[in-house]
Chain A
């Protein structure tokens, strides 16, 4: 059995890399199709033909697309991320501190959302159709309907500016200071992310738990006369861990997307706000790199979730044989 698991893992990793490679091609192709010429965007109205040509040569914009792509890809693998068109500093210098800041934000949000969605989902499944389930379902629905920036705006109004003035309205990190230097400034963005992510994922968890609880072998355990508690802990829970992995992956994935909006709303200096900014200023190297990172996170978490699910769910393991 071990060998087949190993084979599966390797296969999934290989597929993950392939996915990432295709994604990088797509990102590059998409950004190259941008209508505005980056050299012109940088020089603006004062662009003379010589200046344009010089800039294009500098950035390698005059080479064929395939060469540009391979240069870019190998550059990234080497650690050379290129130069940001907008700021004229290297992408790694510009993005580096932002990556760690966003990572910290996501970590805190994940630490909160994962147990929250699992607990809510599991409880709703266990107390199916009773008060908790209906209430949490309703609240989830409403919260899920609201775009993140609406949730964030309302939270700011309630806790920071209009109704109460308890919390900071934006996150202020001094340049060079670690992301945990403004914890109170992180509360509202984290809360917004939690509210944005948890409703979706707890519903998935709930559905998965219901399925587990209604599955044949759990029924069997009940029929055998085991008490509900044993059924729950011995039979249901272990098989719910698989779905839990999916839940974790979903959480991280949704968070990675939600970050773009939430960071801008709270002026958080992370990769989400940098990406939104870069898209508006056509800063291609930054866009390409950040899109790749975010996609990479997705692929990685999905990969880990898939592998984890299989490793943990006995019945799936047997299918590998």
Chain B
């Protein structure tokens, strides 16, 4: 597929995991493309149907606790709500959440009080039972959900109902930032007894119909707890199989919103007076993964040499037309402790790379020849491997990279290249440092880092349990040093994503967020047509 698939960096088979974020979330660091934090403009008129276009197909998933692609995210956010949400600094807050208040009593105890008068789309009230049922579903290994990281910290027995509107979480391992866990967008609350098939949530719009591969229709829910902030009558989320068709539909004014526009069309769309374009940079990243337990990547000289091979600026230009920020092989861009050691930006340094390789016996006569794979359903990754293969030519034949594109179904399957070979690619959305550590260590051990004799894992648990910000920063710095010096990721950049919508629309919140359109308007609240 084409390059712009990078923007829907969650296509067919992978799923975003909203992992446990167990770090203190202090101020994030971004460049906001717009100035306002929350929509503060004049309230719009009530009524109208919003047509939202997104790339999707028959593979779409509709579940409160599981997503694969952006279309799935849109539908989840339209139907369900979480206890907490993230603000633009990625701090957990109760605004737009189902919790009236939430308190972290101790590193192992959190109490959440639910709002009064919240109803599900079928009229029944939200109670503590529903919250406990949802988290049990997340903890159940037989269910297909994003709950795996949760199980490190929580067990069924830890979920206690204090009263019909209050839930207590007793953690089995300390996590000082459990409130952020509650803000993970796939930990949305469904009714007790949810079977994954009947979608009944608490959001502003109830599901009227869902036709896989075509569209879902959502109607304003009159019993919504925050009804005063809801303006639209109806929302339609429409699937498009082709990116260009999606953009064309927006240009021809057949839809009002296009999620995840390809950057090729960025200038064209921005030039149109009747459209607004919003670009978000919230620490999403693409990476090359090297498994530190597979030859030749078990040799750190090789790993570091490959990291020095990359011309990151060129790669950013080629893959994303410059829409992003250069990376330094460290993740957690939005975290306050990002790059705690203050490392200088790595640049392409062929002589240094060659020197390292020489130490391990590689030369023109004995070249380092490796295969690098990417799935064909995520365009950015395809361009990345081609770029790296091209850049490797600068070594004059000492490093030869065979870039191979594998069909998505095979690549991501349990026997596919992903996670089962030495050198391949992956993508992630932005999360805080420790949340990412958890995800990369346990859920998707892409690099099999850390090695056996490392203190990394112990450090992780220590940092998760430390409330002291200074102490945590020191631990994190140590962890990052190890990754910087010996890790298995090559992270050339953090990618942006952008949406375009009709300028008739009011109430779109523009601020750094993990999901498009500010979490799809938190279920298309605040948004009005004129």
Contact = CB atoms under 8 A, between A and B. Distances in A.
Q: Do chains A and B touch in the complex (CB under 8 A)?
A: yes
Interface of A: 35-37, 40-41, 43-48, 51, 84, 86-87, 89, 94, 153, 156, 160-161, 165, 167-170, 172, 174-175, 185, 264-267, 269, 273-274, 276-278, 280-283, 286
A87 B410 contact: no
**9 closest A-B pairs (Cβ-Cβ)?**
A169-B248, A169-B252, A87-B212, A86-B58, A161-B251, A36-B409, A170-B249, A277-B57, A267-B245
Interface of B: 12-13, 15, 57-59, 141-142, 144, 209, 211-215, 217, 238, 240-242, 244-246, 248-249, 251-252, 254, 377, 408-410, 412-414
A45 B248 CA distance: 35
20 contacts: A35-B410, A36-B413, A44-B13, A51-B142, A86-B57, A87-B212, A94-B58, A160-B248, A169-B245, A169-B248, A170-B240, A170-B249, A174-B215, A175-B214, A264-B245, A269-B213, A269-B214, A276-B241, A280-B377, A282-B409
A233 B141 CA distance: 78
A104 B408 CA distance: 33
Nearest to B58: A86
B464 to A, nearest CB: 25
A82 B93 CA distance: 47
B217 to A, nearest CB: 8
Centre residue among A44, A51, A278 by max chain B CB count within 10 A? A44
Given A266-B245, A267-B249, 17 more contacts: A36-B413, A44-B13, A45-B412, A47-B414, A51-B142, A153-B244, A160-B251, A165-B252, A168-B252, A169-B245, A169-B254, A172-B249, A264-B242, A273-B241, A278-B58, A280-B377, A281-B57
Contact of A281 (B242, B409, B414): B409
A280 B248 contact: no
Nearest to A165: B252
A48 to B, nearest CB: 7
Contacts of A161: 248, 251-252
A87 B211 CA distance: 9
Contacts of B245: 169-170, 264-267
A277 B58 contact: yes
A280 B215 CA distance: 19
Nearest to B141: A48
A86 B215 CA distance: 15
A170 B252 CA distance: 9
Contact of A43 (B12, B144, B211, B246): B144
**Interface SS of chain B:** loop
A6 to B, nearest CB: 45
A161 B271 CA distance: 13
A35 B415 CA distance: 11
Contacts of A267: 240-242, 245-246, 249
- Of A84, A170, A185, A273, most B-chain CB atoms within 10 Å: A170
A40 B212 contact: no
A89 B142 CA distance: 22
Listed residue (B12, B13, B214, B377) with the most chain A CB atoms within 10 angstroms of its CB: B214
B412 A277 contact: no
Pick from A51, A174, A264, A266 the residue with the most CB of B within 10 Å: A174
Contact of A172 (B209, B212, B254): B254
Nearest to A172: B254
Given A175-B209, A281-B59, A264 B413 contact: no
A264 B240 CA distance: 8
A163 to B, nearest CB: 12
Contacts of A282: 409
A174 B215 CA distance: 8
A36 B12 CA distance: 14
A281 B12 contact: yes
Greatest chain B CB density within 10 A among A174, A276, A280 is at: A280
A100 to B, nearest CB: 14
Nearest to A35: B410
Contacts of B242: 264-265, 267
Contact of B12 (A48, A94, A280): A280
B279 to A, nearest CB: 22
Nearest to A89: B212
A87 B15 CA distance: 17
Contacts of B248: 156, 160-161, 169-170
A168 B250 CA distance: 10
Contacts of B240: 170, 267
A35 B215 CA distance: 30
Nearest to B210: A175
A277 to B, nearest CB: 5
A47 to B, nearest CB: 6
Contact of A48 (B58, B142, B241): B142
B254 A168 contact: yes
A160 B250 CA distance: 11
A45 B414 contact: yes
Contacts of A170: 240, 245, 248-249, 252, 254
A144 to B, nearest CB: 23
Contacts of A172: 238, 249, 254
A160 B253 CA distance: 10
Given A274-B213, A281-B409, A87 B58 contact: yes
Contacts of B246: 267
Nearest to B66: A46
A141 to B, nearest CB: 27
Given A170-B248, A267-B249, A281 B58 contact: yes
A273 B241 CA distance: 8
A84 B58 contact: yes
B173 to A, nearest CB: 23
A107 B437 CA distance: 57
Contacts of B409: 36, 41, 280-282
A44 B254 contact: no
B252 A277 contact: no
A167 B252 CA distance: 8
A282 B408 CA distance: 11
Nearest to B212: A87
Contacts of A44: 13, 15, 144, 412-413
A172 B53 CA distance: 11
Given A84-B58, A172-B238, A277 B213 contact: yes
A41 B413 contact: yes
A269 B211 CA distance: 11
A170 B217 CA distance: 19
A153 B414 CA distance: 38
B311 to A, nearest CB: 33
Contacts of A48: 141-142
Contact of B212 (A45, A94, A265): A94
A46 B12 contact: no
